[in-house]
Amino acid sequence: MLTVATGNKAVAAAVKQACPSVVAAYPITPQTEIVEQIAEYVTSGELKSQYIPVESEHSAMAACIGAGVTGVRTFTATSSHGLHYMHEMVNWAAGARLPIVMANVNRALGPGWNIWAEHTDAFQERDTGWLQVYVASVQEAYDATLMAFRIAEHESVLLPVMVNLDGFLLSHSMQPLQSVDIGDFIPPIHLPHAIDISDPTSYGTLTGPNDYFRLRWDIERSMRDSVPVIRETQEEFARRFGRKYDFVEEYRCDDAEVVVIAMGTLGKEAEVAVDLLRREGLKAGSMRIRWLRPFPRIDLSGKEVVVIDRDYSFGFGGVIARSLAATEGVTPFSVIAGLGGQEVTYDDIAGFVRGRRPGEELWFGVNGHV
């Protein structure tokens, strides 16, 4: 069915179809609409979930964990301060190998109070053992949420998945949304380590270094095993519903001499910049990284690279620029742009490419111009 929806409503619509047994969530701008919409669905009976209106995000994740360990499907949604308030339990969810799905509406962290888009909130959770996907349209928010349940609950993954969408730019933008009849796309959940009263087991007891180490490796092994599962899920999604997704969305990259790399909505904006630059005679292309974890391998050999980070790791650099420098051995022109919702247009992005200075870092609008 074709409708028009916000990113938040698209996430809620996907959750309704995935039908988690338990939803526990706490409102925060700009995620609020997801929580409200799910509450509506539950109240009207369209969604048969236990909805727990918890008193905090720490409790939201704790409740998903308590529910999840009984073997049922769970969902929550949050943003920035909420994500960090639950940080302890974000780690716990992955360590406990619970396939919880969470939507995170990317927003800056205070102080000062800022409710607009930035990726630093979720980037700071990148080492927790969660899979993380970043979307660039309302349609993709819906599609990625559906796929998240199937990926998280896959027997060789069993790790939580965070679906990230840019605050306001996506959460509150109205775009067309083609919903699908999911059929059996998301199989029933089966958690091999679910609590079983007839087989009493203790979970999360004291664990010595040797066993702890093995359990950590097990998370990493599943993270690696998630790569083919994600690929297979995206391919199956394309087969059934006609929309194709990859780890990295490439745009006019084949013959490109310079590529712009960005995430979320900036990755889409970069495509418009590429068209503009091509008209000017520059062989440009763009890559939109969708999966932050597992972090994709990208062949950038022979290309100049401009990376736009809507995030920052103080004392280190733009996380994507630094990561690609480390994993792919490139020397990118690192642009820090869009923090706290700063407006970045395709013209700006084209400007970054025209004035690229490999190996240097630019804070757009703050330190120097291109």
Residues contributing to the site for other proteins (CB under 8 A) = 21-22, 24, 49-50, 52-56, 58-60, 62-72, 74, 88-89, 92, 195-197, 200-208, 211
Concatenated DSSP letters for 214-260?
A: HHHHHHHHHHHHHHHHHHHHHHHHHHHHS----SEEEES-TT-SEEE
- Closer Cβ to other proteins, 41 or 92, answer by number: 92
Contacts of residue 177, Cβ cutoff 8 Å, sequence gap at least 6? 2, 3, 4, 5, 9, 10, 13, 138, 139, 142
Minimum CB separation of residue 61 from other proteins in Å reads: 8
Minimum CB separation of residue 45 from other proteins in Å reads: 14
Q: What is the C-alpha end-to-end distance of the chain, expressed in Å?
A: 45
- Closer Cβ to other proteins, 199 or 299, answer by number: 199
Pairing, β 131-134 against β 161-166:
parallel
Handedness of CA 94, 98, 99, 101 (dihedral sign): negative
How far, in Å, CA of 309 to CA of 312, rounded?
Answer: 7
Minimum CB separation of residue 47 from other proteins in Å reads: 12
The neighbour count for residue 267, using CB atoms within 10 Å, is 24
Tell me the sheet residues that pair with 181.
none
- Closer Cβ to other proteins, 214 or 231, answer by number: 214
Given a contact cutoff of 8 angstroms between Cβ atoms, the answer to whether 75 and 148 are in contact is no
- Closer Cβ to other proteins, 5 or 22, answer by number: 22
- Closer Cβ to other proteins, 88 or 232, answer by number: 88
- Closer Cβ to other proteins, 210 or 367, answer by number: 210
Given a contact cutoff of 8 angstroms between Cβ atoms, the answer to whether 142 and 160 are in contact is no
Given a contact cutoff of 8 angstroms between Cβ atoms, the answer to whether 20 and 41 are in contact is no
**Spatial CA neighbour of 325 closest among 355, 351, 305:** 305
Minimum CB separation of residue 204 from other proteins in Å reads: 4
Minimum CB separation of residue 128 from other proteins in Å reads: 13
- Closer Cβ to other proteins, 19 or 276, answer by number: 19
- Closer Cβ to other proteins, 24 or 131, answer by number: 24
- Closer Cβ to other proteins, 99 or 332, answer by number: 99
Minimum CB separation of residue 337 from other proteins in Å reads: 36
Cα 213 to Cα 3, 156, 207, 209, 295: the distances in Å are: 49, 19, 9, 6, 22
Minimum CB separation of residue 112 from other proteins in Å reads: 26
Cα 276 to Cα 63, 96, 173, 182, 354: the distances in Å are: 49, 48, 24, 38, 11
Given a contact cutoff of 8 angstroms between Cβ atoms, the answer to whether 310 and 117 are in contact is yes
Minimum CB separation of residue 316 from other proteins in Å reads: 28
CA dihedral 111, 117, 119, 120 (to 10 degrees): 0
Minimum CB separation of residue 88 from other proteins in Å reads: 5
